[in-house]
Amino acid sequence: MSIALCPGSFDPVTLGHLDIIERTSRHFSEVVVAVIRNPQKTQSLFTLEERQAMLREVTAHLANVRIEFFKGLLVDFARDQGASAIVKGLRAVSDFDYELQMAQMNQRLSGIDTFFISTSPQYSFLSSSLVREVGRFGGDVSTMVPASVATRLTERFAEQGGQA
- Catalytic-role residue among 25, 44, 51, 91: 91
Minimum CB separation of residue 98 from ligand PNS in Å reads 9
Round to whole Å and give the CA distance between 23 and 66.
Answer: 14
DSSP per-residue codes, 3-47: EEEEEE--TT--HHHHHHHHHHHTTSSEEEEEEESS-SSS--SS-
Report the candidate in 80, 84, 93, 79 with the shortest Cα–Cα distance to residue 31.
84
Taking residues 20 to 49 in sequence order and writing x for each that binds ligand PNS by CB under 6 A, - otherwise, the string is: ----------------x--x----------
85: contact with ligand PNS by CB under 6 A: no
74: contact with ligand PNS by CB under 6 A: yes
Q: Which of residues 104-123 bind ligand PNS (CB under 6 A)?
A: 105-106
- Catalytic-role residue among 41, 71, 118, 142: 41
Tell me if residue 27 is catalytic: no
Q: Which secondary structure element, helix H or strand E, spans residue 85, and what is its range? A: strand 85-90
Q: Peptide bond before 12: cis, by omega within 30 degrees of 0?
A: yes
Torsion angle in degrees (nearest 10) through CA of 68, 41, 162, 35: -10
Q: Among 5, 6, 8, 14, which residue interacts with ligand PNS (rule: CB under 6 A)?
A: 8
Helix pair angle (128-136, 147-159), 10° resolution: 50
Between residues 53 and 102, which has the closer beta carbon with respect to ligand PNS?
A: 102
Tell me if residue 71 is catalytic: no
Minimum CB separation of residue 156 from ligand PNS in Å reads 18
Tell me if residue 41 is catalytic: yes
- Catalytic-role residue among 9, 25, 128, 132: 128
Q: Which residues are at the interface with ligand PNS (CB under 6 A)?
A: 7-9, 36, 39, 73-74, 102, 105-106
